[in-house]
Amino acid sequence: MSLSDDPPAFPFPKGFFTAVVLRFPVATTDEAYHACICECKRVLRPGGHLEVAVLDLDLVNMGHRARSVVRGLKTRMQANDPSVSLRNMSDFLVRLIGRRGFEGVKRGIVGVPTAGHVSRGQDARSNSSSQSAEQPCRPSLARVNTQEITFADLLDDARNSQYISEGANDEGVTRMVAKVGRWWYSTCYETPSLGSNKSIWQDQELLRECEKQGTSFRLLLCHAQKPQQTRRRTVSV
């Protein structure tokens, strides 16, 4: 279910679910996030669980180019929709969940790499030629980086990575995790506001800087529980 500037009520009755998962919400207004959390609580049964996973708009350990690119992304997002929220969702949503009366709020922050190994010039050509001599040709996302990539494409690329030699497993895992992270970041912040415009992650210089700086996405994982009993307000006479 997507979030809009004026989201409708969830099409479920009160207390319908034992668990609700809010995963990677797209960029929208503060009011829409607030309405979404309210609806999550409404459709949860007493004692029900809320799980949240969200990426921040800002990156961790940004270099000069990354700061400039993220600043430009924010400018374009706000130009497209002046009401869109540009704040980091990890802190905002945790505070919002607490204000809505959820209990046992637990949170964890995970750093997801923005870039793995980025091929350079002659090395990339020599590596690709040697690999093509040793392995049969398999589909790769490298050849479709100018097209729209789906999550299914990423999973397919992950299956193909099993043919990589065991010594390169760690590097292959890092590349795949970074690729999935970039896909989610674009899905949350670029695609909703900017449509099919060129992604910031097509900038190879940016990826090299991110790899050198150790730049990462800030991923929030949060769990909270709806109270078993509703707090009642009494009036003394």
Statement: the pTM of the whole predicted model exceeds 0.85: no
Is there a domain that residue 67 lies in?
A: yes
Q: What is the pLDDT of residue 135?
A: 45
Residue 58: the pLDDT is 95
Is residue 149 domain-resident? no
Kindly state whether residue 101 falls inside one of the protein's structural domains.
yes
pLDDT at 191: 85
119 Cβ contact list (under 8 Å, min separation 6): 127
How much is the pLDDT for 5? 52
Domain with 23 in it: 13-117+215-229
Residue 60 domain-assigned?
yes
What is the biggest distance separating any 2 CA atoms in the chain, rounded to whole angstroms? Answer: 87
Alpha-carbon distance of 17 to 28, in angstroms, equals 25
* Cα 103 off chain centre by: 25
Residue 216 has a pLDDT of: 94
Q: Is residue 84 part of a domain?
A: yes
Q: Is residue 8 part of a domain?
A: no
In a domain, 129, yes or no: no
pLDDT of res. 217: 95
Which residue matches tokens 């690329």? 157
Q: What is the pLDDT of residue 128?
A: 40
In a domain, 176, yes or no: no
Total domains in the fold of the chain: 1
**CATH number of the domain bearing residue 40:** 3.40.50.150
Could you list the mean pLDDT of each consecutive 10-residue stretch along the chain, which spans 237 residues?
Answer: 61 91 92 93 94 95 94 92 92 93 92 74 41 43 43 52 54 85 92 76 93 93 89 58
